[in-house]
């Protein structure tokens, strides 16, 4: 019998998957997103800060930016607290939010506006807080004529860093303004406007010499351009060295300022005046600018 030949079955190779089914292994690459320099970020934040300052209703811009990155927080805080306006309500909220003065952003404030007259005036506790505004440069005291505090708080202290003082209120008399000026050794610029009170309250610093530099801008409005303020400024032991002088007053008060101009004759570089020829405080002729002669 013939033997059957054994058939050897050759192994068949597995079917190769289609290219779509074959996994593709690609080398992962790290993508580095370039980081904006902090200088550019600060420029953007400064622009937003200026916009917020012009329109307080848009003050959420910087607050939103402070949530973007931790590195943005310091710049945002400096802009958010650059200018602070304190009324009674605003001060109460500040004290509630920052009960510990040394942990507050008071050191970031550069422009400090304080309402000391009418129903908006700050509580007495504010004057315990003022020494913590260690970097404030501009101090403005505001308040309507009329309802005023009966007496000046005994705890009044002004930030020693202030170089510019603005008084636009009928709450403090001229003697008290002098007391405030005496507390400011770096005072350079002065702006006095509003009803002038030459008496009414007891001075807290009689005999204290004014220590400021008085080499910035002097602006006197209405009755502050009279003889009383002139005498006060000319009594400064170190003299006055203002480089700019702006006067807004009735014509009858102009002669009172001649002595101030003479005292600043060597330093004054800009003089502007707005004079009412009809002696009406509400109607002025257009300003005229003159360059002072040395």
Per-residue pLDDT reduced to its tens digit, 26-68: 566 666 656 767 777 666 666 666 655 545 555 567 666 766 7
**C-beta contacts of 171-175 below 8 A and 24+ residues apart:** 171/116, 171/117, 171/121, 171/141, 171/143, 172/116, 172/141, 172/197, 172/201, 173/197, 173/198, 173/199, 173/200, 173/201, 174/198, 174/228, 174/229, 174/232, 175/199, 175/201, 175/203
Outline where DSSP puts E strands in the chain. Answer: 83-86, 111-115, 138-143, 164-169, 189-193, 217-221, 244-250, 270-276, 288-290
Between 112 and 51, residue with greater pLDDT: 112
Q: What does the pLDDT read at residue 163?
A: 96
Q: What is the mean pLDDT of residues 170-189?
A: 88
Between 247 and 64, residue with greater pLDDT: 247
Count other C-beta atoms under 10 Å from residue 98's C-beta. Answer: 15
Domain boundaries, the chain: 39-80, 81-175, 214-294
Comparing 3-7, 71-75, 205-209, 281-285, which segment has the lowest mean pLDDT? Answer: 281-285
Q: What does the pLDDT read at residue 153?
A: 52
- With H, G, I as helix, E, B as strand and everything else as coil, classify residue 166: strand
Q: How far, in Å, CA of 59 to CA of 50, rounded?
A: 10
Q: What is the pLDDT of residues 200-243, one digit of tens each?
A: 444 555 556 888 999 999 999 988 988 899 999 999 999 999 99
Q: What does the pLDDT read at residue 293?
A: 37
pLDDT at 177 over 60: yes
Q: Is 204 exposed, middle or buried (0-12, 13-18, 19+ CB in 10 A)?
A: middle
Q: What does the pLDDT read at residue 62?
A: 66
Q: What is the pLDDT of residues 98-108, one digit of tens each?
A: 888 888 899 99
Comparing 196-200, 223-227, 281-285, which segment has the lowest mean pLDDT? Answer: 281-285
Average pLDDT over the chain, rounded to an integer:
75
Find out whether 248 and 218 touch, Cβ atoms under 8 Å: no
Count other C-beta atoms under 10 Å from residue 236's C-beta. Answer: 16
- With H, G, I as helix, E, B as strand and everything else as coil, classify residue 143: strand
pLDDT band, residue 192 (cuts 50/70/90): very high
Which distant-in-sequence residues (6+ apart) come within 8 Å of 53 by Cβ? 82, 83
What letter does residue 193 receive in the DSSP assignment? Answer: E
pLDDT at 282 over 90: no
Q: What is the mean pLDDT of residues 177-194?
A: 92
Find out whether 128 and 102 touch, Cβ atoms under 8 Å: no
Q: What is the mean pLDDT of residues 75-99?
A: 85
Q: What is the pLDDT of residues 250-267, one digit of tens each?
A: 878 878 888 898 999 899
Six token digits for residue 241: 């060295």
Q: What does the pLDDT read at residue 249?
A: 81
Phi-psi region of 281 (alpha: psi -120 to 50; beta: other; left: phi over 0): alpha
Phi, psi of 97 (to 5 degrees): -80, -35
pLDDT at 115 over 70: yes
Q: How far, in Å, CA of 163 to CA of 144, rounded?
A: 24
């Amino acid at each position: 019998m013939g033997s059957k030949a054994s058939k050897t079955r050759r192994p068949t190779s597995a079917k190769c998957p289609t290219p779509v089914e074959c996994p593709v292994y690609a080398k992962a690459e790290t993508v580095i997103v370039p980081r904006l320099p902090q200088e550019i970020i600060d420029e953007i934040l400064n622009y937003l800060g200026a916009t917020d300052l012009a329109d307080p209703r848009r003050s959420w811009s910087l607050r939103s930016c402070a949530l973007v990155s931790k590195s943005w927080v310091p710049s945002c805080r400096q802009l958010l607290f650059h200018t602070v306006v304190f009324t009674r309500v605003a001060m109460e909220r500040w004290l509630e939010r920052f009960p510990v003065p040394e942990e507050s952003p008071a050191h970031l404030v550069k422009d400090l506006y304080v309402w000391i007259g009418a129903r908006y005036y700050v509580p007495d506790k504010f004057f315990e807080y003022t020494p913590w505004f260690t970097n404030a440069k501009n101090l403005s005291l505001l308040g309507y004529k009329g309802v005023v505090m009966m007496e000046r708080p005994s705890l009044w202290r002004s930030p020693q860093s202030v170089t510019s003082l603005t008084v636009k209120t009928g709450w403090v008399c001229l003697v008290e303004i002098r007391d405030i000026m005496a507390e400011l050794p770096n005072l350079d610029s002065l702006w006095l406007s509003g009803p002038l009170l030459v008496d009414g309250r007891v001075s807290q610093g009689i005999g204290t010499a004014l220590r400021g530099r008085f080499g910035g801008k002097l602006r006197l409005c209405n009755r502050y351009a009279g003889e009383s303020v002139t005498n006060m400024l000319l009594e400064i032991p170190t003299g006055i060295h203002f480089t700019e002088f702006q006067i807004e007053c009735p014509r009858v008060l102009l002669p009172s300022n001649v002595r101030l101009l003479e005292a600043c004759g060597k330093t004054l570089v800009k003089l502007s005046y707005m004079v009412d020829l009809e002696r009406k405080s509400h109607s002025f002729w257009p300003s005229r600018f003159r360059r002072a002669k040395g």
